[in-house]
A and B are shown apart, each in its own frame.
Chain A
Amino acid sequence: MSAPELATTGSSEQAVALEGFVVRSHPTLRKALRNRSLLTGGAIVGTLVLIAILAPWIARYDPLQQDLAATLQLPSWVHWLGTDELGRDVWSRLVWAARFDLATGFFVVLFPFAFGTLIGTLAGYYGGWIDTVLSRIIDVVMAFPYYVLIITLVFVVGKGIRGIFIAFALADWVTYARTVRSTTLVARRMDWAAAARSGGLSDRRIIVHHILPNTITQAIVYAMSDVVYVILAVVTLGYLGLGIQAPQPDWGSMIFDGQLFMTTRWWLSTIPGLCVVVTGIGLSLVGDGLADVLRPE
């Protein structure tokens, strides 16, 4: 028998019986524009990103410029949030820290996101011994309490931004891998995945074009809160003396440095703390919103 011959008779009897339908204009975008979480979160994160980008103009002083004659000044018109122990302008440092922290958060999360998604996809898609081995590795890494692992790794790879980067790369991918693995398992069992396979498509094509677009959503949503976790972990490492190198302005070290003055200059640690909280709120809202918007109907 030859390939099915296609009659192009226009409207067949079935076309008459066709149920109605509408093809709407880009629905995801419209949904995004109607999603309150996404809009609020987007506004918050957008503002922060804008501040970060415009830091050189918004900051009124060089964040590293010391003025040892004017340390620990109270907020004034000259220094909106006062100065720190080295007479540096706190507002300027806060603004530059936004740039640093957001960039750190996003870049640090990038590798675990990519690697974890890859591993999770492979484990979930191929199953069998690949899955068994990868799952056990994931289990092993998950067995270590988060901070215990991060701290040990920071000792192994060294402090500073490089150390943080590597430590998170090694510790953080498992969460993505686990999430993506389970969503991939679900996706793989969907009929459309079976159809793609029996359509003669290669595994690589099925993974990249069919499975990933469905599974990556969750990873993206988690990545949003993960950025906050990373900022928090950096803050906490700073507290334990393993954090960012001075004099880089960073909310974490500002919280940490400021806590010595908690009783006399409360804002020194509270305001950077609030910045982390606001970032957290913004990114969580974006995450929630994205989850809503990207969820297929």
Chain B
Amino acid sequence: MAEPLLTLRDLKATFTVPGYGVVRAVDGVSLEVAAGEIVGLVGESGCGKSTIGRCITGQVVPSAGEVVLDGMKLGRRRSPQQRRAAQMVFQDPASSLNPRMSVRAVLAELLRVHRLVPRDQVERRCRELMGLVGMPDQALDGHPHQFSGGQRQRIAIARALAVEPRLLIADEPVSALDVSVQATILQLFDDLRQRLGLAVLLISHNLAVVRYLSDKVAVMYLGSIAELAQRDALFADPRAPYTRVLLEAAPRLGQIGKTPDPGLKGDPPSAVNLPSGCRFHTRCPRAEERCSVEEPALLPVHDGPPPAGGEVHLAACHFRAGHPGAPGQTG
């Protein structure tokens, strides 16, 4: 099997909040992203999904574990080339572009500093990049405040692409956009994947968005992965109770007049004092005694060898194979 483009091995990230404690934002996450693959990372706020993205780009220094991208082990100090390998697209279009720099200045700087194209080709390449994200050449002269949210997001993507990254990390790329605009950005990602074979780590709380774009989906809860599977397997046959709760809670156009009832009580526990055993047991509608004692590992839901052509479906639940007494659900 080919070496994956990105490998996260038992990644951990902790922060100390004065007067509060140590927050275990990411608590042992392993994940692989293959070249040309879009992997979705879903979870609620505070589950550590954005921190993972930031660990990969080096904005956050992991406290343990390793990040291997394209064969390079990314450490604390990174060469420009290592830094370029993964690029981020941010949630907030308002802060993702420097208000004082024209689009051209942003793009041309990157092209020049890294000598990505000969000097006389810079302008042409800028236009190409604009074209790639569906923006006209005139936009190069604009400053961020002159663009709408969707346009800014396109420019941010162009900036990310300018340095020819191997991996794009899209952190909630559409959640700040108007509904009517979201679709254009989603399509752009789709398009870029098809045309450039770009690998994307898509971080989002929106299950529908993740479902639409991703090949593979990881569901996170409180710093660790609750379930990891190919897109269809996961949405058709969620095995972690948390995944089911998420799917239950998501608003759907098809359910007119039905208020969602996830059967979930309370707020997520604090990441400072993680619950014992399964970290979801405090809210899990199906929790049993065992769950509060024994922490379930992320393990295949099916016994035996992985199904052909697909990856293993993993879940971190004692009852991943089906609730005791009930037949295991199958996809």
Q: Do chains A and B touch in the complex (CB under 8 A)?
A: yes
B154 → chain A closest CB, angstroms:
8
* A199 at interface, CB cutoff 8 A: yes
Complex contacts, B150 vs chain A, CB 8 Å? 19
* A3 at interface, CB cutoff 8 A: yes
Q: Which of A14, A193, A209, A296 contacts B145, CB < 8 Å?
A: A296
* B36 at interface, CB cutoff 8 A: yes
CA distance A46 to B141 in the complex (A): 32
Complex contacts, B83 vs chain A, CB 8 Å? 197-200
Q: Which size class do A's interface residues fall under?
A: 35 or more
* B208 at interface, CB cutoff 8 A: no
A12-33 Cβ-contact flags toward B at 8 Å (1 or 0): 1111011101111001000000
Are A1 and B110 also in contact (CB < 8 A) when A23-B138, A24-B146 are?
A: no
Q: Which of B113, B134, B139, B145 contacts A297, CB < 8 Å?
A: B145
* A34 at interface, CB cutoff 8 A: no
Q: Which of A8, A17, A196, A296 contacts B134, CB < 8 Å?
A: A17
* A36 at interface, CB cutoff 8 A: no
Complex contacts, B282 vs chain A, CB 8 Å? none
CA distance A106 to B148 in the complex (A): 40
Q: Which size class do B's interface residues fall under?
A: 35 or more
A18 touches B134 (CB 8 A): yes
B100 touches A14 (CB 8 A): no
* B239 at interface, CB cutoff 8 A: no
Instruction: Scan residues 106-155 of chain B and give those whose CB is less than 8 A from a CB of chain A.
Output: 109-110, 113-114, 125, 128-129, 131-136, 138-139, 141-148, 150-151, 154
CA distance A45 to B109 in the complex (A): 37
Instruction: Scan residues 194-208 of chain B and give those whose CB is less than 8 A from a CB of chain A.
Output: 195-198
Q: Which of A19, A23, A194 contacts B181, CB < 8 Å?
A: A19
Complex contacts, B58 vs chain A, CB 8 Å? 197-198
Complex contacts, A11 vs chain B, CB 8 Å? 131, 134
Are A1 and B98 also in contact (CB < 8 A) when A198-B83, A200-B114 are?
A: no
Are A194 and B57 also in contact (CB < 8 A) when A23-B146, A214-B99, A214-B100 are?
A: yes
B166 → chain A closest CB, angstroms:
6
CA distance A205 to B83 in the complex (A): 15
Complex contacts, B301 vs chain A, CB 8 Å? none
A22 → chain B closest CB, angstroms:
7
* A7 at interface, CB cutoff 8 A: yes
CA distance A14 to B136 in the complex (A): 11
CA distance A14 to B92 in the complex (A): 21
A96 → chain B closest CB, angstroms:
39
Complex contacts, B125 vs chain A, CB 8 Å? 6
* A145 at interface, CB cutoff 8 A: no
Are A209 and B151 also in contact (CB < 8 A) when A7-B195, A12-B134, A198-B57 are?
A: no
CA distance A112 to B92 in the complex (A): 35
Are A194 and B59 also in contact (CB < 8 A) when A1-B197, A4-B164, A209-B109 are?
A: yes
Complex contacts, A198 vs chain B, CB 8 Å? 57-59, 83-84, 86-88
A192 touches B96 (CB 8 A): yes
Are A194 and B113 also in contact (CB < 8 A) when A7-B195, A23-B141 are?
A: no
* A60 at interface, CB cutoff 8 A: no
Look across to chain B and name the residue whose beta carbon is closest to the beta carbon of A3.
Answer: B164
CA distance A258 to B59 in the complex (A): 61
B134 touches A15 (CB 8 A): yes
Complex contacts, B12 vs chain A, CB 8 Å? none
Complex contacts, A201 vs chain B, CB 8 Å? 80, 109-110, 113
Look across to chain B and name the residue whose beta carbon is closest to the beta carbon of A10.
Answer: B131
* A265 at interface, CB cutoff 8 A: no
* B163 at interface, CB cutoff 8 A: yes
Look across to chain A and name the residue whose beta carbon is closest to the beta carbon of B84.
Answer: A200
* B228 at interface, CB cutoff 8 A: no
Are A17 and B191 also in contact (CB < 8 A) when A191-B95, A200-B80 are?
A: no
B115 → chain A closest CB, angstroms:
11
CA distance A22 to B184 in the complex (A): 19
Instruction: Scan residues 74-102 of chain B and give those whose CB is less than 8 A from a CB of chain A.
Output: 80-81, 83-84, 86-88, 90-92, 95-101
Enumerate chain A interface residues (CB-CB to B < 8 A): 1, 3-15, 17-19, 21-24, 27, 190-202, 205, 209-210, 213-214, 296-297
User: What would 16 more interface pairs be, CB under 8 Å, given A7-B131, A209-B101?
Assistant: A4-B197, A6-B128, A6-B131, A6-B132, A10-B131, A11-B131, A14-B191, A191-B88, A191-B91, A194-B59, A195-B90, A195-B159, A197-B83, A198-B88, A200-B81, A201-B110
10 closest A-B pairs by beta carbon, nearest first, are A14-B134, A296-B99, A200-B80, A297-B145, A4-B196, A191-B90, A3-B164, A213-B100, A192-B98, A200-B83
A-B contact pairs, 12 of them (CB 8 A): A4-B161, A4-B197, A4-B198, A5-B195, A7-B132, A10-B131, A11-B131, A11-B134, A14-B188, A19-B150, A214-B100, A296-B144
